[in-house]
C-alpha cells in the first residue's frame, strides 16, 4: 500500500511524504523539502524518513532541508540517502558544513548523496564524524530509469527540463498475489503456511495437511494478481509538445500524477521564460499518458483562489479526473 500525503498548503511550498507499506516491511520517503513542509508531521515521522528525493535545488524545493537534517544528522540506526540531479552532492556539501561541529568525533552518522542524470547515478558519502568535511567519491553506476528498489517499491527517475536537469519521480509497487477466498472455501482448504509456498513460482508441488498437491494447478485456481499502486511527482518543468511526447511513456500505468499548476494558459510566455508549464499542458500530459488522476500542486500566489479553481476547471476540460487534494477544499 502506498500512503501518500501532500505537505504544505497553497500557495506555499509543497512536498510529498510516502509511507510504502509492504505488510512485512515499511519504508518512508520524502519528495522535496521546501520551507515549512515538515511543520505538519511529527518529530518521529521525520526521523523515520529513509530517503529524501529532490527534484532540483531551487530554494522552494530545498529550503526546509535544515529542519530535516537537524533531526537526523547523526542518525546511525538506518542509512541516510538523498537523491537529486547532478550537482546535488556539491550543493549539500555546503549545507552540511554550514554549522559548527564542536563534537564531530563523537558523531557516527553516514550520509549518501546520489547525483542522478539520465543514465547514471554518481554516489557520494559524507561522515558526521569527519564534520562532513570530505565528499568521498563512492563510485558511479548506470541505470535504466530505475534508481532505487526496496522491498516495497521501485523508484524511477524521469529527466525534466528546468534551466538544466530537473528530476521527476515515478514510484511503483510490485503486483501483489492474493488468494481468492471463495475459491479457497470451495476447495475445502484452510489458510496456512502453505499459501506462501504456493505463491513461489519455483515450487511445482506443495504439501497441505500431509498431502502432496500440484502447485501449478492450485495457483491457477486460487492465486489472483492485483496491480500494485503507483504515483508520479513532476514539478518545475517544460511540458511543451516535444517534452510531453518524451515524458508520457514514462508515466504509463501511473495511478496518480502529482504535478505543478504554476501558470494559467494566458501566461504561456511567462511559463516558457521560467521553464514551467501551463495548466493545459500538464492536463494534456495526463491525458496523453492515460494516468488515473491529476492532482494539482505547487500553486502560484500570482493567482487568487478563484483563479486556482478556474485553472482546475481548465484542466478538467482536457483531463476530467483533475483536482486538488481534499484537504485544500478549493473546489
pLDDT digits over 214-273, tens only?
999 999 999 898 899 999 999 999 999 999 999 999 999 999 999 999 999 999 999 999
Same domain (yes/no): 153, 113: yes
Strand partners, 141: 121
Residue 328 domain flag: no
Residue 34 domain flag: yes
Give the three-class secondary structure for 295: strand
**Over residues 116-132, mean pLDDT:** 97
Domain end (from 226, 261, 290): 226
The confidence score (pLDDT) of residue 24 equals: 85
**Over residues 11-28, mean pLDDT:** 95
Counting the structural domains of the chain, the total is: 2
**Over 90: is that where the pLDDT of 180 sits?**
yes
Same domain (yes/no): 198, 249: no
Decide: 36 and 64 in contact? Cβ < 8 Å: yes
Secondary structure percentages of the chain, helix, strand, coil, to 5 = 30, 30, 35
Same domain (yes/no): 220, 238: no
Residue 9 domain flag: yes
Is 60 part of the annotated catalytic residue set?
Answer: yes
Residue 331 domain flag: no
Q: Pick the catalytic residue: 32, 60, 115, 267?
A: 60
Domain end (from 186, 211, 226): 226
Longest distance between any two alpha carbons in the chain, whole Å: 73
Same domain (yes/no): 296, 164: yes
Same domain (yes/no): 169, 275: yes
Query: Where residue 105 falls among pLDDT bands split at 50, 70, 90?
Result: very high
**Over 80: is that where the pLDDT of 304 sits?**
yes
Residue 299 domain flag: yes
Same domain (yes/no): 165, 42: yes
Same domain (yes/no): 288, 312: yes
The confidence score (pLDDT) of residue 68 equals: 97
Same domain (yes/no): 165, 184: no
Distance CA 111, CA 124 (A): 8
Residue 326 domain flag: no
Same domain (yes/no): 219, 232: no
Beta strands in 280-326 (DSSP E): 293-297, 322-323
Question: Could you count the other beta carbons within 10 Å of the beta carbon of residue 178?
Answer: 12
Instruction: Enter the DSSP assignment of 64.
Output: T
The confidence score (pLDDT) of residue 178 equals: 87
**Over residues 94-103, mean pLDDT:** 94
Residue 296 domain flag: yes
Decide: 130 and 106 in contact? Cβ < 8 Å: no
CATH (domain of 268): 3.60.15.10
Same domain (yes/no): 248, 259: yes
Residue 211 domain flag: yes
| Residue 211, burial from CB neighbour count under 10 angstroms (0-12, 13-18, 19+) | exposed
Give percent of the chain with pLDDT exceeding 90: 92
Same domain (yes/no): 263, 157: yes
Same domain (yes/no): 130, 28: yes
Query: Where residue 14 falls among pLDDT bands split at 50, 70, 90?
Result: very high
Q: Which domain holds residue 45?
A: 2-174+228-320
**Over 90: is that where the pLDDT of 315 sits?**
yes
Distance CA 154, CA 22 (A): 12
Amino acid at each position: 500500500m502506498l500512503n501518500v500525503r501532500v505537505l504544505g498548503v497553497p500557495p506555499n511550498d509543497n512536498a510529498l511524504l510516502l509511507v510504502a507499506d509492504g505488510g512485512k516491511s515499511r519504508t518512508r520517503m520524502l519528495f522535496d523539502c521546501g520551507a515549512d513542509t515538515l511543520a505538519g508531521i511529527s518529530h518521529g515521522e521525520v526521523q523515520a524518513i529513509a530517503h529524501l528525493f529532490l527534484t532540483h535545488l531551487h530554494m522552494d524545493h530545498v529550503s526546509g532541508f535544515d529542519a530535516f537534517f537537524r533531526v537526523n544528522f547523526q542518525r546511525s540506526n538506518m542509512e541516510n540517502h538523498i537523491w537529486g540531479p547532478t550537482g546535488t552532492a556539491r550543493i549539500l556539501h555546503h549545507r552540511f558544513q554550514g554549522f559548527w561541529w564542536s563534537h564531530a568525533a563523537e558523531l557516527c552518522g553516514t550520509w549518501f548523496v546520489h547525483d542522478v542524470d539520465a543514465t547514471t547515478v554518481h554516489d557520494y558519502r559524507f561522515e558526521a564524524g569527519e564534520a562532513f568535511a570530505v565528499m568521498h567519491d563512492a563510485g558511479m553506476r548506470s541505470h535504466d530509469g530505475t534508481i532505487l528498489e526496496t522491498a516495497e517499491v521501485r523508484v524511477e527517475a524521469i529527466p525534466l527540463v528546468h534551466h538544466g536537469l530537473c528530476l521527476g519521480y515515478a514510484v511503483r509497487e510490485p503486483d501483489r498475489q492474493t488468494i481468492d477466498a471463495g475459491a479457497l472455501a470451495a476447495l475445502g482448504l484452510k489458510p496456512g503456511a502453505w499459501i506462501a509456498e504456493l505463491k513461489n513460482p519455483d515450487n511445482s508441488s506443495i504439501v497441505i495437511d500431509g498431502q502432496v498437491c500440484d502447485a501449478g494447478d492450485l495457483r491457477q485456481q486460487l492465486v489472483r494478481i492485483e496491480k500494485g499502486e503507483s504515483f508520479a511527482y513532476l514539478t518545475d518543468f517544460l511540458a511543451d509538445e516535444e517534452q510531453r511526447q518524451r515524458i508520457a511513456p514514462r508515466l504509463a500505468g501511473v495511478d496518480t500524477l502529482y504535478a505543478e499548476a504554476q501558470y494559467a494558459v494566458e501566461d504561456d510566455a511567462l511559463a516558457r521564460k521560467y521553464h514551467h508549464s501551463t495548466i493545459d499542458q500538464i492536463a494534456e500530459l495526463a491525458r496523453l499518458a492515460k494516468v488515473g488522476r491529476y492532482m494539482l500542486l505547487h500553486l502560484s500566489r500570482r493567482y487568487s483562489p478563484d483563479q486556482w479553481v478556474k485553472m482546475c476547471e481548465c484542466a478538467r476540460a482536457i483531463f476530467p479526473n483533475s483536482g486538488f487534494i481534499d484537504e485544500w477544499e478549493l473546489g
